[in-house]
Amino acid sequence: MTMYLKGLLYADDASAFATGLGIGLPTGSDFNVNFPDAGNAGSLTLRNETVTLMPFVASTMSLNDRWFMQSFGQVLFVTSGDTVVNNNQEVGVFHQQNLLQTDIGLGRWLWRDSSRPYFTGLAGVFELHYTSTIQDSDVLDMPQGNPLGGQLVNNANRLDLLNLTSGIHAQLGPMSSLRIGSVVPLRQTPDRVFDSEIQVSFNRRF
């Protein structure tokens, strides 16, 4: 679960700048894996305990009557690690990597009519999303003599992900909007962690 505290730094008729802090809480399930070849010692659990802090800055800007731009920058700081359990015994703590996340988007209004009660505008949008690991992967050595042996580590180590999002933004009156788009990675493995995806988001202001 992630919660954000947001504040508006500056706004005028054509632009707005904001900052804030996100807090990520570990509400998901633990990660469990079994290695049958290791017998009774082949059970490994990574407890979901990491708390993250995510300070960010963001802006939106109208370039003219048709074109608009949005940008966002965030650093994800890991404040705690995840306990690793093997055969019901704690063997150490694994720390996830800190992340840098930035994106920039450009959109163009295809149609607008503020006099309508509900469907008041339609725009095409394009966005570039970049995510990078800030430091090398943590390395957790399994205890000497453990049947699993080896290390717990992110084999890909440093990742630089670059994805392109394109879609349609529909303005549903002054308080609501709907976006439907597709996401495609622009880089190859290991910096390509999925083939493509569809995104649907609905925003409601109160």
For 28-48, what is each residue's pLDDT tens digit?
899 888 877 656 566 788 899
| pLDDT band, very low/low/confident/very high, at 205 (cuts 50, 70, 90) | confident
Give the integer Cα–Cα distance in Å for 181 and 164.
10
* pLDDT for the residue numbered 137: 93
User: What is the phi-psi region of residue 35: left when phi exceeds 0, alpha when psi lies from -120 to 50, beta otherwise?
Assistant: beta
Question: One-letter amino acid identity for 88?
Answer: N
End-to-end CA distance of the chain: 21
| pLDDT band, very low/low/confident/very high, at 12 (cuts 50, 70, 90) | very high
Backbone angles phi, psi at 147, to 5 degrees: -60, -30
Give the integer Cα–Cα distance in Å for 175 and 17.
19
For 128-174, what is each residue's pLDDT tens digit?
999 999 999 999 887 776 666 678 888 888 999 999 999 999 999 88
* pLDDT for the residue numbered 165: 96
In this structure, the chain runs to a length of: 206
Q: What is the pTM of this model?
A: 0.83
Residue with tokens 């500056």: 10
Q: Which residue in 164, 165, 179 sits closest to 122, CA to CA?
A: 179
For 62-121, what is each residue's pLDDT tens digit?
999 999 999 999 999 999 899 998 878 888 899 999 999 999 999 999 999 988 888 999
Question: One-letter amino acid identity for 53?
Answer: L
- Torsional sign, CA 156, 100, 15, 116: positive
* pLDDT for the residue numbered 71: 97
Question: What residues contact residue 5 under an 8 Å CB cut-off, 6+ apart?
Answer: 20, 21, 22, 23
* pLDDT for the residue numbered 106: 97
CB 79 within 8 A of CB 93: no
* pLDDT for the residue numbered 143: 73
Query: Would you say residue 56 has pLDDT above 80?
Result: yes
Give the integer Cα–Cα distance in Å for 177 and 60.
15
